[in-house]
């Protein structure tokens, strides 16, 4: 056989191609953070904005963010994440939160978010939730209270 072995040829091409060797110049987003770690609201919401790119009408939020940024290193890959948020939003913005998602019947509970709910009147929820799903996300919307319970995950999402 003349020349390089086919496997060696593929390896040589990959190693010489700068697109495959490009390293991320962005900031590493890896974290395991809960909103309770912040002492003030603006700081808490600013941190959340690093991970939640679309949050129309956001007034307040509690959250738990686990994010493994795999975009760095010699072979970058997709990131792994599990982000749970309970958000108080302007009621008129709820439709913007659900745009492009599919509504499904829901008769379950909010148990997956209970640990995020402070024991105050602010997070007391009495209305029935509406369930919306999209790729890698699920929302429970409580329209009467203007509350969004959101979960974004690179893994299958369980609600109970």
pLDDT, tens digit (0-9, with 9 covering 90-100), for 33-59: 999 899 888 999 999 999 988 889 999
117 touches 109 (CB < 8 A): no
Q: How far apart are CA 89 and CA 69, in angstroms?
A: 28
Residue 11 has pLDDT above 80, yes or no: no
Pairing mode, strands 137-142 and 58-68: unpaired
84 touches 64 (CB < 8 A): yes
Reported residue count of the chain is: 160
pLDDT, tens digit (0-9, with 9 covering 90-100), for 67-112: 999 887 677 888 899 999 999 999 999 999 999 999 998 888 777 7
For the chain, what are the domain ranges? Answer: 26-153
Query: Which residue's structure tokens are 């975009």?
Result: 71
Q: What is the largest CA-CA distance in the chain?
A: 77
């Amino acid at each position: 056989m003349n020349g390089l072995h086919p496997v060696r040829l593929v390896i040589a091409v990959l190693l010489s191609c700068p697109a495959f060797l490009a390293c991320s110049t962005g900031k590493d987003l890896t974290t395991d953070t809960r909103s309770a770690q912040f002492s003030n609201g603006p700081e808490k919401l600013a941190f959340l904005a690093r991970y939640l790119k679309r949050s129309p009408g956001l007034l307040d939020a509690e959250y738990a963010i686990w994010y493994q940024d795999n975009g760095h290193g010699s072979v970058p890959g997709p990131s792994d994440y599990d982000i749970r948020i309970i958000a108080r939003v302007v009621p008129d913005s709820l439709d913007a939160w659900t745009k492009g998602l599919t509504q499904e019947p829901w008769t379950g509970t909010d148990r997956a978010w209970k640990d995020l709910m402070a024991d105050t009147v602010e997070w007391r929820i009495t209305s029935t939730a509406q369930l919306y799903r999209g790729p890698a996300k699920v929302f429970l919307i409580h329209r009467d209270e203007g509350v969004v319970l959101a979960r974004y995950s690179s893994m299958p999402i369980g609600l109970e």
